[in-house]
Amino acid sequence: MTLTTPFGNYQYEIYLAGLGGVLPQLPMRFDELERRAEAALSPSLVSYIAGGAGDEFTQRINTSAFEQWGLVPRMLRPTAERDLSVELFGMALPSPLLMSPVGIVGLAAQDGHGDIATARAAAITGIPMIASTLSVDPLEAVAAEMGDTPGLFQLYTPTDRDVAASLVNRAEAAGYKAIVVTVDAWIPGWRPRDLSTSNFPQLRGHCLANYFTDPAFLALLDKTPVDDLSAAVAKWAQLFGNMLTWDDLPWLRSLTDLPMIVKGIGNGEDARRVKDAGFDGIFCSNHGGRQANGGRSAIDTLPEVVEAADGLPVLFDSGIRSGADIVKALALGATAVGIGRPYVYGLALAGAEGIVHVLRSLLAETDLIMAVDGYPTLADLQPNALRRNLFAGTHYTPNA
């Protein structure tokens, strides 16, 4: 099943239900969504999901930087019908929205199988899931729940090349349509919230199903993970965190004929080099502010990445909290926009149903902004649709 009606019609469903005395059980605002989800999660999961690097300045500026941009309203345009569809790596998608990979999403569900719930939400909405290497359930089981919705597989490249090749081959065999290689998380960032509770879920054996079911990884063990969990986790710790360099890109590119995207790019020079190395897409992201504090906001880096990509698809995430944010990222050149924390919070509250609510809410706002402000198609959202806001709030100063 894929949502086929105008996305903005979700508001009418809510209003009509209200006529019968049925009020929304899930939050309509992000701040309430975050508050209620954090109350439903364990303190260790809250620290991992909500926390960022250092004093979390980069995480905060990722969201507040959107305030520097304002969409120019253009009235009296024919926007009764909107087209949010996009072609991406041969996939015909109903919208430009994606679910970014979140390595702890499996634990955020009440039944402990959040990867499966996310895949089911993808099947319901038609919004692709980028499945993380760090998963509670094996990548094959996750792919089986996606229905007709295409999925992408995110690769944390292990230091053992045979294990890396095995993970990619499994993803291809399972039907994933592209590989997203994350390059900004080969080592954990300095995360005070997690450090204060000594919280590193993978070192406790969580979210390692893709390794513990991988033949190349299992061949490196004397005993199975079931027989010796501590030894298996220790072996994983040795393999995780390949500090990739430009010299590794030809080998990575050779692993599959699937489209391959490099995630974690935050400047034009790196974007040009990724394109020159023969990759199919660039993912502009700073890992949601979780890896390195003190940097620029992701949305500030997007225009130069798009310019350097010179027509190559540019995916974007880090800081998206609303439909307005999605519209602005698209206007600045993003081909598709990923969300992370918002859908994880929806998952924490109501499983797949909670994710679907968050996705539909974001798409409804996106659709309605385009309708009201005179932008019937994604092609109409160009950089000239945005202007700088003179007063963007007290917590963010453009170009300061």
pLDDT digits (tens, 9 = 90+) for 215-260: 999 999 999 999 999 999 999 999 998 999 999 999 999 999 999 9
**Binding site residue list for glyoxylate:** 48, 132, 156, 191, 263, 287, 290
In a domain, 20, yes or no: no
* Residue 389 placed within a domain: no
Question: Token match 């202007």: residue?
Answer: 387
Report the predicted TM-score, pTM, of the whole model to 2 decimal places.
0.95
Residue 397 confidence (pLDDT): 41
Provide the pLDDT for residue 390. Answer: 81
Q: Which residue has the tokens 């949010």?
A: 84
Q: How far is CA 236 from CA 115, 148, 220, 243, in A?
A: 20, 33, 10, 15
DSSP 247-284: GGHHHHHTT-SS-EEEEEE-SHHHHHHHHHTT-SEEEE
109, part of any domain: yes
d(CA 187, CA 195): 14
pLDDT score at 393:
56
Tell me which residue of 380, 290, 295, 373 sits closest to 330, measured CA to CA.
380
Confirm whether 80 is domain-assigned. Answer: no
> What CATH number did the domain enclosing 122 receive?
3.20.20.70
C-alpha span between 353 and 160 (Å, rounded) = 38
Structure tokens at 355: 């994710």
Q: Is residue 381 part of a domain?
A: no
Please indicate, yes or no, if residue 149 is contained in any of the structural domains: yes
Annotated binding site: 48, 101-103, 132, 154, 156, 182, 191, 263, 285, 287, 290, 317-321, 340-341
Binding residues for FMN are: 101-103, 154, 182, 285, 317-321, 340-341
Q: How many structural domains are present in the chain?
A: 1
Answer whether residue 200 is part of any domain. Answer: yes
Burial class (CB in 10 A: 0-12, 13-18, 19+), 27: buried
- Rounded Cα distance, 311 and 308, in Å: 8
Q: Which of 113, 206, 287, 395 is catalytic?
A: 287
Residue 287 falls in the annotated catalytic set: yes
Q: Pick out the chain residues at pLDDT < 70.
A: 1-2, 4, 391-400
On whether the CB atoms of residues 229 and 203 are closer than 8 A, the answer is no
For residue 4, what pLDDT is reported?
62
179 within domain boundaries: yes
> In degrees rounded to 5, what are phi and psi of residue 87?
-100, 125
Q: Determine the structural domain holding residue 59 and report its residue range.
A: 27-71+85-375
pLDDT number for residue 5: 76
Q: Output the DSSP codes for 283-321.
A: EE--GGGTS-SS---HHHHHHHHHHHHTTS-EEE-SS--
- pLDDT value of position 400: 35
Instruction: Look up tokens 């979390």; give the residue.
Output: 56
DSSP secondary structure, 183-195, as one string: -S-SS----HHHH
State the pLDDT at residue 274: 98
